[in-house]
Amino acid sequence: VDADRVGTALRVRTRRPGDRLKPLGAPGRKKVQDVFVDRKVPRDERDAVPIVTDASGEIVWVAGHALAEPFGLIRLTTTVVTLSLRRV
């Protein structure tokens, strides 16, 4: 993600009712619930998927499933933050 656009602090949490983001390359905003349905994430696994947010609480990444458009790399990006998910 673009470090300048994401800010100085990232937080990790679980999903909350009504969570929304604008997925990279998709038109409009989408509910996190719909991202899970589209990606066929089993219901019993959805609460275990980490949600990464910026300091203001805006969703940056639904770990392993969707990156939010506002934080994607652009031509003017000079510094990046690499986010990764490791399953054990």
Q: What would the pLDDT profile of 31-53 be if each residue is shown by its tens digit? A: 999 999 999 999 999 999 999 99
pTM: 0.91
Question: Distances from the Cα of 81 to the Cαs of 9, 64, 88, in angstroms?
Answer: 11, 15, 22
pLDDT for 88 equals 79
**pLDDT > 90: what percent of the chain?**
91
Mean pLDDT of the chain: 94
Supply angle C-alpha 12, 18, 22, rounded to 5: 70
